[in-house]
A and B are shown apart, each in its own frame.
Chain A
Amino acid sequence: MASEIKQMEPSERRQAVAMFQEGIQAGFPIILGYIPVAITFGVLAAQSGMSLIEITLMSALVYAGASQFMGVNMIAASAGMIEIVVATFVLNFRHFVMSLSFMNEVRDSFSFKGKLGLSLTLTDEVFAVSSIRNENIHKKHGIYFYLAIYIIAYLSWVFGSFLGGLLGEVIPEQLSQSMGIALYALFIGLLIPTVKKEIKFGFIAIFAMLINLIASQFLSSGWAIVLGTVVGGLSGVYLLKEKK
């Protein structure tokens, strides 16, 4: 990416850099949510006997918060490898649905390489921010906006885990506990402005909430979220139909 930027004409380069900077601003709330959760993860993982290298490696390679907490708990309870891997698959399968949605949106705008790079580090939060801030997808050098969001989110998660594993609880417990609301507030902060513009997006979200609530009575939270997202999204077939 850096070499591509160097080869650009100065005016082009300015555009790409401006996009990247805008992306950092858009992604900043994710950092705010990720750092405290990542530190908590690092602390818990260290307490359960994982080494600093293992902690950082897990965050760098798996890069999916909820499944990492679950993985550490299961490792501590000496669960089998197959059991842990299957549970991880179930919990993270929602990313398939999200990736399909976002990659379909950018199919003609970004190169194969660009799409592959983004998809590798897709999480709930970067998917949510990128999809709501979809105004840059078709702009020239728009990919740098999305790259910035994906990169800073990734770095803050890996760095936060490392910090937690290294230093232990650097954030007072009551504060880090309160910061558990951060990612929910981020999702609300993304959803509300779109609902204000068009109420139908609110109906889709509420429909998905109800499906998730019902499904979570019978299924694990991983499948319940997948079902809520997929079945809730089905309402879009009717609600988002373009009037001809």
Chain B
Amino acid sequence: MVLFIIIGMALVTIIPRIIPVFIVNKLMFKEWINNWLRAIPYAALGALIFPGILSVIDGKPHIGILGGIVAVILAYVGLNVVIVVVGAIATVFLLTM
């Protein structure tokens, strides 16, 4: 039974992922749609960060915010993404001690 659930979950996840491959070369998008699609990565980053970051620690949204602020600062001064990630982890770790 679990196996069937896994296969069902896989199908409804994979089909939306691959459909664009079959359509992008058949369609010529108007310029405004291309601009829309080019903005998707930045919009997706925004939507993935907030408000999800508030629930890093259940019931303590300020910890997620503080971890995020540290990440913003580290990224802003131009540090490598690995250091940004490690810095944010360390912040949350210290705050939850």
Complex contact A185–B87 (CB within 8 A): yes
Majority DSSP secondary structure for residues of B touching A: helix
Complex contact A61–B7 (CB within 8 A): yes
Of the four ranges (under 10, 10 to 19, 20 to 34, 35 or more), the interface on chain A belongs to 35 or more
**Is the C-beta of A32 less than 8 angstroms from some C-beta in chain B?**
yes
Which of B2, B21, B36, B39 is close to A99, meaning CB atoms less than 8 Å apart? B21
Complex contact B82–A29 (CB within 8 A): yes
Which of B1, B11, B48 is close to A128, meaning CB atoms less than 8 Å apart? B48
Residues on A with beta carbons closer than 8 Å to the beta carbon of B78:
193
Minimum CB–CB distance from B56 to chain A (whole Å) comes to: 5
Complex contact B71–A188 (CB within 8 A): yes
Residues on B with beta carbons closer than 8 Å to the beta carbon of A178:
89-90, 92-93, 96
Complex Cα spacing A111 to B62, Å: 46
B window 43-77: CB within 8 A of A: 43-53, 56-57, 64, 67-68, 71-72, 74-76
Complex contact A85–B51 (CB within 8 A): no
B4-47 CB contact bits vs A (8 Å, 1 = yes)?
11111111111011111101110001001011111111111111
Contact sample, A vs B, 14 pairs, CB 8 Å cutoff: A29-B82, A71-B6, A85-B8, A88-B8, A100-B20, A119-B21, A177-B96, A204-B39, A204-B42, A205-B49, A209-B46, A225-B48, A237-B35, A237-B36
Which positions in B face A, CB cutoff 8 Å?
A: 1-14, 16-21, 23-25, 29, 32, 34-53, 56-57, 64, 67-68, 71-72, 74-76, 78, 81-82, 84-93, 96-97
Extra contacts besides A81-B8, A234-B39 (10): CB < 8 Å: A119-B21, A120-B17, A128-B44, A182-B89, A187-B48, A189-B74, A201-B42, A207-B46, A213-B50, A240-B39
